[in-house]
């Protein structure tokens, strides 16, 4: 799920179950005011505790050579996945 990296998201898939209802998710249960069901980073909407408009990449070069870059919608994978979320208010469904 490369378009979700950086959010409370799936790290590995062990099983896929098809549900008739939206299931509860752990981060949404722990902090529902901060984390929604879809776990998408929307650069246009702030996380309650920080801006999501830009990001600092981790692990490239040293501590002092990092750069802040503008965050892209769907982590830059919009061409492949944006249609999954079409007609959704992405401020509400994140």
Partner 1 sequence: MRLTPRGVFWLKVVLHVVFLLPALYLVALVMTDNAGGDPVQYIIHYTGMGAINSLLATLLISPIAKRFKLAALMQTRRLVGLYVFAYALLHIAAFISLDLLFAWGLLFEEVIKRPYILVGAAALIIVTLLALTSPNKIKRKMGKRWQSLHNWIYVVALLAPIHFYWSVKSEIIEPSIYIVLFVGLLFYRRASIKKWLMPN
Contacting positions for partner 1 (CB under 8 A): 30-31, 34, 46, 48-51, 54, 56, 58-59, 63-64, 66-68
14/64 with CB nearer partner 1:
64
**Shortest distance in whole angstroms from residue 15 CB to partner 1:** 26
What secondary structure, in 3-state letters, does the chain show?
A: CHHHCCCCCCCCCCCCCCCCCCCCCHHHHHCCCCCCCCCCCCCCCCECCECCCEEECCCCCCCCCCCEEECCHHHHCHHHHHHHHCCCCCCCCC
**Shortest distance in whole angstroms from residue 81 CB to partner 1:** 25
17/48 with CB nearer partner 1:
48
**Shortest distance in whole angstroms from residue 20 CB to partner 1:** 29
């Amino acid at each position: 799920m490369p378009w979700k990296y950086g959010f409370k998201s799936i790290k590995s898939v062990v099983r896929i179950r098809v549900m008739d209802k939206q299931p509860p998710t752990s981060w949404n249960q722990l902090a529902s005011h901060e984390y929604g069901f879809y776990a998408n980073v929307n650069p246009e909407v702030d996380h309650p505790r920080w801006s999501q408009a830009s990001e600092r990449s981790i692990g490239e070069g040293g501590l002092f050579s990092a750069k802040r870059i503008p965050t892209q919608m769907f982590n830059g994978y919009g061409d492949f996945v944006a249609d999954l979320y079409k007609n959704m208010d992405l401020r509400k469904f994140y």
